[in-house]
C-alpha cells in the first residue's frame, strides 16, 4: 500500500447554516481531510450546483426546531440521487450546552429520516454555537433566556474527520 492516493480523493464538505456556526465546523473537517492527503472543499450548500465531481460527501447543518436549516434540506432533495450513490457522512450542529461532548446525541427524527433515505454511513451531533450578534427572533429569545454560547467541540470534530479520512484512504488502498 502507498502513503498517498494516485489520484486525489475529492471530498465535498457541504453545510447549511443560518447563523454561521456550522461554517467553522465544516472548515475544521475540511482542514483535517486535507492534512490527511484528501482534496476537501468546504462549501455552503447554496453554492453547490453539482455533486458529481466529488467521490465522497460530508454534509451537515445547524438544527432549528429539530430540523436542518432549510437550504440544507433543499440540497438533500435536489441532490438526493447523487448523495445516495456516494460514501456519505452527516453531522448536525445544535445543542447549546455540553451534552454533545459528554454523550452521543442521536439524530433528530427529521434528520434520521434523511440519513436513512440517503443510506448515510454515520450521523453525529456536535454542540452548537449562538452568539450575541444573532438577529432572528428565535435567536433573540434563546439569548434572552441565557442559553447562548459556543459549545462546538473542535477536538471531537477533528477526531471524527480523521476517522472519515482513514475510511476513505483505506478504501483506496492507501496506508495511513
Ligand atoms: C431559533 C433556534 C432554534 C434552534 N433549535 C434547535 C434545536 O431544535 N435543537 C438543537 O440542538 N439546537 C437548536 N438550536 C441551536 C442551533 O442549532 C445552534 O446554534 C447551531 O450551532 C446553529 O448553527 P448555524 O449557526 O450554523 O445555523 C436552535 C437555535 C435557534 C436560534
* Residue found under cell 462546538: 152
What pLDDT is recorded for position 27? 98
Residue nearest to atom 1 of ligand 1 (CA): 138
C-alpha distances (whole Å) from 55 to each of 7, 87, 122, 173 are 11, 7, 17, 15
Confidence band of 172 (pLDDT split at 50, 70, 90): confident
Residue nearest to atom 28 of ligand 1 (CA): 64
Question: How many C-beta atoms surround the C-beta of residue 104 within 10 A?
Answer: 9
d(CA 172, CA 9): 9
* Partners of 62 in the β-ladder: 93
What pLDDT is recorded for position 18? 94
Confidence band of 174 (pLDDT split at 50, 70, 90): confident
Residue nearest to atom 31 of ligand 1 (CA): 139
Supply the Cα-derived Rg of the chain in whole angstroms. 16
- The pLDDT tens digits for 12-64 are 999 999 999 999 999 999 999 999 999 999 999 999 999 999 999 999 999 99
Pairing of strands 56-64, 10-16: parallel
Residue 152: name the closest of 170, 127, 135 by CA. 127
d(CA 88, CA 93): 17
Q: Does ligand 1 have an atom closer than 6 angstroms to the CB of 33?
A: no
CB-based burial label for 52 (10 Å; 0-12, 13-18, 19+): exposed
What pLDDT is recorded for position 176? 62
DSSP character at residue 131: -
What pLDDT is recorded for position 94? 97
d(CA 58, CA 40): 10
Residue to substitute in 93, 140, 145 for testing ligand 1 pocket (most ligand atoms within 8 angstroms of CB)? 93
Q: Does ligand 1 have an atom closer than 6 angstroms to the CB of 106?
A: no
What pLDDT is recorded for position 1? 53
pTM for this predicted structure: 0.96
Residue 25, C-alpha cell as written in the block: 465546523
Residue 71 near residue 102, CB atoms below 8 Å: no
How many angstroms does the Cα of residue 129 sit away from the middle of ligand 1? 8
Q: Which domains does the chain have, with CATH numbers?
A: 10-171 (3.40.50.360)
pLDDT at residue 152 tops 80:
yes
- The pLDDT tens digits for 98-147 are 999 999 999 999 999 999 999 999 999 999 999 988 888 999 999 999 99
Q: Does ligand 1 have an atom closer than 6 angstroms to the CB of 119?
A: no
What pLDDT is recorded for position 3? 64
Averaged pLDDT, 74-85: 98
How many angstroms does the Cα of residue 121 sit away from the middle of ligand 1? 23
d(CA 54, CA 63): 25
Amino acid at each position: 500500500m502507498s502513503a498517498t492516493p494516485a489520484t486525489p480523493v475529492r471530498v465535498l464538505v457541504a453545510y447549511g447554516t443560518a447563523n454561521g456556526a456550522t461554517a467553522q465546523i465544516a472548515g475544521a473537517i475540511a482542514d483535517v481531510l486535507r492534512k490527511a492527503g484528501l482534496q476537501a472543499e468546504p462549501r455552503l450548500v447554496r453554492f453547490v450546483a453539482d455533486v458529481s465531481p466529488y467521490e465522497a460527501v460530508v454534509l451537515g447543518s445547524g438544527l432549528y426546531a429539530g430540523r436542518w436549516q432549510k437550504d440544507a434540506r433543499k440540497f438533500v432533495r435536489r441532490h438526493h440521487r447523487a448523495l445516495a450513490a456516494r460514501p456519505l457522512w452527516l453531522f448536525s450542529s445544535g445543542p447549546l450546552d455540553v451534552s454533545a461532548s459528554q454523550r452521543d446525541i442521536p439524530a433528530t427524527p427529521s434528520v434520521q429520516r434523511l440519513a436513512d433515505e440517503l443510506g448515510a454511513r454515520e450521523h453525529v451531533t456536535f454542540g452548537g454555537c449562538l452568539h450575541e450578534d444573532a438577529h432572528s427572533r428565535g435567536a433573540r429569545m434563546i439569548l434572552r433566556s441565557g442559553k447562548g454560547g459556543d459549545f462546538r467541540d473542535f477536538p471531537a470534530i477533528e477526531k471524527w474527520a480523521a476517522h472519515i479520512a482513514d475510511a476513505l484512504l483505506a478504501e483506496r488502498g492507501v496506508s495511513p
